[in-house]
Amino acid sequence: MTSAVFDVAIIGAGIVGAACAAECAQAGMRVVVIESDLGGGGATSAGMGHLVVMDDSEAQFVLTRYSQTLWNELAPQLPADVEYERCGTIWVAADGEEMAEVRRKQRFFESRSVPVEVLDAKALEEAEPNLRKGLAGGLLVLEDGVVYPPCAARYLLEKAIACGAEVRMGQPAIEATREGVRLRDGTRIPARATVNAAGAWSPQLTPGVEVQKRKGHLVITDRYPGFVHHQLVELGYLKSAHSLTSDSVAFNVQPRRTGQVLIGSSRQYGVDDLKVEAIMLHRMLQRACEYMPGLAQLSAIRAWTGFRPATLDKLPLIGPFPGAEWLFLATGHEGLGITTSLGTAKLLADQLLNRPSQIPVEPYLPARAKQGAIHA
Amino acid sequence: MPETVSLSIDGVPVRVPAGTPVAIALMASGRTSFRRSVTSEPRGPLCGMGICYECRVTINGKPHGRSCQIPCQDGMDVRTDG
Amino acid sequence: MDKLRHECDVLVVGGGPAGLAAASCAAQARLRVAIIDDNPHLGGQIWREDQHKQDTPEAVDWLKKVRAAKVELIHGAKVFNHPEAGLLQAETAEGLDELSYQKLILATGARERFLPFPGWTLPNVMGAGGLQALVKSGLPISGKKVVLAGSGPLLLAVAAYLREQGADVRLIAEQAPRHRLAAFSLALFRHPRKLLQLITLEKQLQGVRYLTSCWPVAAEGNEKLVSVRLRQGSKTWNLPCDYLACGFHLVPNTELAALLDCELREGAVGVGDFQETSVAHVYCAGEATGIGGLELSIIEGQIAGYAATRQHEKAQALFGARRKLRRLALRMNRAFALRDELKSLPQPETIVCRCEDVTLERLRTQNSWNSAKMLTRCGMGPCQGRICGSAVEFLFPWKPGSVRPPVFPVRLESLASISQGLEGQR
């Protein structure tokens, strides 16, 4: 072990930390990744792995689209266990009002060169025969896909290691200073810059980081190949993700390459434990069965929860922490961490290396809150 | 309760004593492989008590039936994975 | 979906010997007692209903007691969740049962430990208890060549039973060394019943080859088993057979107890003198508290049944018998302890997790159960780690993780169901 200083210490080996490590290491930086648990133990191992472009806001669209392009470029190199599938998303419309939303989204995406297809009721039924009758239609987003996040994170971490990054597992980082990082057992790791990619735990390392835990439940079934073909999300999902105060569920179902059906989604505030809650499962699964009645009879083999790291304005924090130019944040991705991990890594490396970014970084800078940009 | 029941296994009619688990009907009619694993290995019953999920077959169109736990019924249609 | 609600004072989960004893003793207090079991008939594994013969007198006796005491019997119901205090949910073929209780006695029994070796996934390689269960349910075994391999008295009991049904038992391969077994047999002299059982078994198995320090190194065949390769010392040889019945002891079924937050000790449910767990109002008896055999299960069941219904004196009267049987169980477990050589049986390409076909070499890249689950999917299939879990814990120094609902795979509609009480809170 040398006593040389690392260029950057990345705290957290979830998918965001791993992606940042890979990007920085590939750019020639001396990288160390510090992970308290097993790598991917937070939202990365709990979440759905949906690679999705979102149109919630221009900034969200730009980041998700940029990242999705990066995923699609990376796809041919991904090993089989990452289970990358370009299955597409169908945003499902239950009624006329939601069909209007379908058309709004169509205009939004088409004007930004995202290939989409409007499905009427019949086309929706043909695309997904297990959806209930009587739905109005949907929007198929062709270039969306899915991955299996733990293996995706591991792939990125191994890429980082192949470019010389070091990984220190098992000890949490408890302090980050301009000299570097101190671990719980007292070890000091000298680094010129530190990146807090600790997801839901980022405020513990960096007090003042406005990231809150937003709990989600998931259920996975046994293998039923062909039951569902695309990631299916109800348009009411947006109403659910918009709510900042109340618990909510939404229909959100994913086909896994194994043939298992992954079922979400739910959001809760102010819950600090990971216990599976009967009421949330009830609401979430009931909602799912409303859209896909056949789900009720499938065998459910596991249920679990995870914490999404949520920010107040629904955009991640990527960039220097105000007041500490050696400390960078790459956190607060809520439910879009898997998708935007690659874009985040680029933007972060750009800022560390002072190189120009492919997309504007301002909307994601931690300093934006101080500027009173958006505050809910 | 009838003495025997008659069911079909992969399209072949079979008659067994009432109450016989589907797994026994399968084995008694010579099938050793009930299903294929995720890497296509042949698999049959292992634990005999409903916890290993190796004895699964499709019963009346419904997949993942644990044949060691399910009694044969008249008219049942059982399909193995081969 | 049918929904049925049962209310009782004492709920016993598991209808094997411990559960029957617990229910019968609890019922002496004239409270409402119920037994729930997921099999179609009571008796658990060891007293499983047999096509070929009558139930043992002891089993008949306990079943009679339970029926006479008007214990509510809930068959074919699989407990999968504990959504709120004092409530369990169980799935049936038609729907869902909700069980409301004041006191809970877990008598969830044990399952076999499977150790992987090349070819162990071939059809007709089964658990020893597994093969016995299938024969009891009608599997024709007469004239079939059977090899039993693994460890423990269960191998002898199964071999004797199969022989009685006409099987050609070619060999019983016990991995424990002779000197350890000899020492253990001496200890049996203090337990006349057990000694008698052993002598009876020996008579039933006269002429059957019994080898110690012997274990299977491979099961051979293409689409099914045709022979087993065995090792004893430096010798290996092939033995053609129709069935290979493997059993490497039993492991307690602790999942429901873990879901209820009961403390576990060395893979078994921790209990105090009155069979109480670390959770108020929850008791545990039988193999789930530690493998100790039929007699101990019955005694523990009785103690739990009495203790849960404040019949403490009756419970205490059984402490002496329990102490003696636990001592014997400890000696037995030591005598038959699994040898380290068994850790080298699986080869890199041997499948360890059968649900997801995860090989040993893939597991070797991991450093914890959690990372193994996440990155290889070992233990993430429908068996929920019940088959591979004890093997993984034998092969690797990994600690198991926490248990979440559903404790068994259930229909989504069952998992989605909430009690009327919770419904009101929505």
pLDDT digits 0-9 by tens, A118-171: 999 999 999 999 999 999 999 999 999 999 999 999 999 999 999 999 999 988
Between CA A44 and CA C168 the distance in angstroms is 54
Q: What pLDDT is attached to residue C66?
A: 95
Instruction: Kindly state whether A299 is in contact with chain B, defined as any CB-CB distance less than 8 angstroms.
Output: yes
Name which of C39, C112, C123 is nearest B44 (Cβ-Cβ).
Answer: C123
- More confident site: C59 or C420: C59
Arithmetic mean of pLDDT, A355-371:
91
Provide CB contacts within 8 A for C400, sequence distance 6+.
C369, C385, C389, C393
**pLDDT > 70 fraction of chain A, expressed in percent and rounded:** 94
Q: What pLDDT is attached to residue C163?
A: 96
Q: Which of C40-49, C160-169, C200-209 has the highest mean pLDDT?
A: C160-169
Structure tokens at C207: 């002429």
**pLDDT > 70 fraction of chain B, expressed in percent and rounded:** 98
In this prediction, residue C425 has a pLDDT band, given cuts at 50, 70 and 90, of low
Chain B: partners with 3+ C-beta pairs within 8 Å: A, C
Instruction: Kindly state whether A224 is in contact with chain B, defined as any CB-CB distance less than 8 angstroms.
Output: yes
Work out the mean pLDDT of chain C and round it to a whole number: 94
- pLDDT for residue A18 is more than 80: yes
- pLDDT for residue C40 is more than 90: no
In terms of CA atoms, which chain A residue is nearest residue C367? A38
Distance set, CA C371 to CA A45, A79, A157, A200 (Å): 10, 18, 14, 19
Between CA C140 and CA C165 the distance in angstroms is 9
**Is there a contact between A8 and A31 (Cβ–Cβ < 8 Å)?**
yes
- pLDDT for residue A350 is more than 80: yes
Q: What pLDDT is attached to residue A237?
A: 64
Question: For C332, which DSSP code?
Answer: H
**pLDDT > 90 fraction of chain C, expressed in percent and rounded:** 86
Quote the distance between the C-alpha of residue B61 and its chain's center: 13
Q: What pLDDT is attached to residue A364?
A: 98
Write out the H or E segment, with its range, that includes residue C220: strand C214-220
- pLDDT for residue A375 is more than 50: no
- More confident site: C262 or C53: C262
**pLDDT tens figures, C85-96:** 999 999 999 999
- pLDDT for residue C330 is more than 90: yes
In this prediction, residue C72 has a pLDDT band, given cuts at 50, 70 and 90, of very high
**Is there a contact between C422 and C399 (Cβ–Cβ < 8 Å)?**
no
Put simply, the answer to whether C351 touches B54 (Cβ < 8 Å) is: no
Instruction: Kindly state whether B2 is in contact with chain A, defined as any CB-CB distance less than 8 angstroms.
Output: no
In this prediction, residue C312 has a pLDDT band, given cuts at 50, 70 and 90, of very high
Put simply, the answer to whether B63 touches A224 (Cβ < 8 Å) is: yes
Chain B positions touching C410 (Cβ under 8 A) are none
Chain B positions touching C133 (Cβ under 8 A) are 48-49, 68
Residue C273 phi, psi dihedral angles, 5° rounding: -60, -35
Please give, rounded to a whole number of angstroms, the shortest distance from the CA of C323 to a CA of chain B.
30
Q: Nearest-CA neighbor of C121 among C285, C305, C346?
A: C346
- pLDDT for residue A38 is more than 80: no
Q: What pLDDT is attached to residue A228?
A: 98
Kindly report the CA angle at C350 between C349 and C353, in degrees rounded to 5?
115
- pLDDT for residue A91 is more than 80: yes
Chain A positions touching C410 (Cβ under 8 A) are 299-300
Distance set, CA C89 to CA B81, C4, C23, C36 (Å): 32, 10, 19, 11
Arithmetic mean of pLDDT, B5-22:
95
Put simply, the answer to whether B41 touches C351 (Cβ < 8 Å) is: yes
Between CA C382 and CA C254 the distance in angstroms is 17
Put simply, the answer to whether B64 touches A258 (Cβ < 8 Å) is: no
Q: Nearest-CA neighbor of A61 among A371, A373, A339, A355?
A: A339
Put simply, the answer to whether C422 touches A222 (Cβ < 8 Å) is: no
Q: What pLDDT is attached to residue A2?
A: 55
Put simply, the answer to whether B51 touches C386 (Cβ < 8 Å) is: yes
- Scanning B35-54 for CB atoms below 8 A from C yields 37-39, 41-54
Chain B positions touching A299 (Cβ under 8 A) are 64
Q: What pLDDT is attached to residue C418?
A: 87
Put simply, the answer to whether C382 touches A282 (Cβ < 8 Å) is: no
**Is there a contact between C383 and C409 (Cβ–Cβ < 8 Å)?**
no
Provide CB contacts within 8 A for C263, sequence distance 6+.
C269, C270, C277, C278
**pLDDT tens figures, C211-258:** 999 999 999 999 999 999 999 999 999 999 999 999 999 999 999 999
Between CA A32 and CA A190 the distance in angstroms is 10
Structure tokens at C299: 């005694």
Name which of C83, C371, C374 is nearest A278 (Cβ-Cβ).
Answer: C83
Put simply, the answer to whether B38 touches A224 (Cβ < 8 Å) is: no
Put simply, the answer to whether C351 touches B43 (Cβ < 8 Å) is: no
Please give, rounded to a whole number of angstroms, the shortest distance from the CA of A298 to a CA of chain B.
9
Q: What pLDDT is attached to residue A308?
A: 96
Write out the H or E segment, with its range, that includes residue A351: helix A337-353
Distance set, CA C37 to CA B63, C41, C44 (Å): 24, 8, 8
Distance set, CA C113 to CA C84, C177, C246, C325 (Å): 32, 19, 9, 22
Question: For A48, which DSSP code?
Answer: -
Q: Nearest-CA neighbor of B29 among B47, B10, B4, B57?
A: B10
**Is there a contact between C385 and C237 (Cβ–Cβ < 8 Å)?**
no
DSSP notation for A320-331: EETTEEEEEEEE
Structure tokens at C195: 């000694």
Please give, rounded to a whole number of angstroms, the shortest distance from the CA of A262 to a CA of chain C.
12
Work out the mean pLDDT of chain A and round it to a whole number: 94
In terms of CA atoms, which chain B residue is nearest residue C44? B49
Put simply, the answer to whether C405 touches A303 (Cβ < 8 Å) is: yes
pTM of the model: 0.95
How many CB pairs (< 8 A) connect A and B? 5
Structure tokens at A362: 């301002």
Which candidate in A81, A220, A221, A222 is best for mutational testing of the B interface (most B CBs within 10 A)?
Answer: A222
Arithmetic mean of pLDDT, C127-135:
97
- Scanning C399-418 for CB atoms below 8 A from B yields 409
Put simply, the answer to whether B64 touches A297 (Cβ < 8 Å) is: no
Q: What pLDDT is attached to residue A115?
A: 98
Arithmetic mean of pLDDT, A343-359:
97
Provide CB contacts within 8 A for C111, sequence distance 6+.
B47, B49, B51, C250, C251, C253, C386
Between CA A19 and CA C333 the distance in angstroms is 49
Which candidate in C374, C403, C422, C423 is best for mutational testing of the A interface (most A CBs within 10 A)?
Answer: C374
Quote ipTM for the complex.
0.96
Name which of A39, A295, A300 is nearest C406 (Cβ-Cβ).
Answer: A300
Residue A3 phi, psi dihedral angles, 5° rounding: -100, 15
For B58-67, the CB contacts below 8 A with 24+ separation are B59/B22, B62/A297, B63/A224, B64/A222, B64/A299, B64/C382, B65/B22, B67/B21, B67/B22, B67/B23, B67/B26, B67/B34
Kindly report the CA angle at C77 between C73 and C80, in degrees rounded to 5?
130
- pLDDT for residue A376 is more than 50: no
- pLDDT for residue C381 is more than 60: yes
Instruction: Kindly state whether A262 is in contact with chain C, defined as any CB-CB distance less than 8 angstroms.
Output: no
Put simply, the answer to whether C127 touches B43 (Cβ < 8 Å) is: no
Q: What pLDDT is attached to residue A373?
A: 46
In terms of CA atoms, which chain A residue is nearest residue B66? A299
**pLDDT tens figures, A106-126:** 999 999 999 999 999 999 999
Instruction: Kindly state whether B33 is in contact with chain C, defined as any CB-CB distance less than 8 angstroms.
Output: yes
Q: What is the CA radius of gyration of chain A?
A: 20
**pLDDT tens figures, C332-379:** 999 999 999 999 999 999 999 999 999 999 999 999 999 999 999 999
> Edge-to-edge, what's the strand order for the sheet holding C145-151?
C125-127, C243-248, C145-151, C168-174, C210-211
Q: What is the CA radius of gyration of chain B?
A: 12
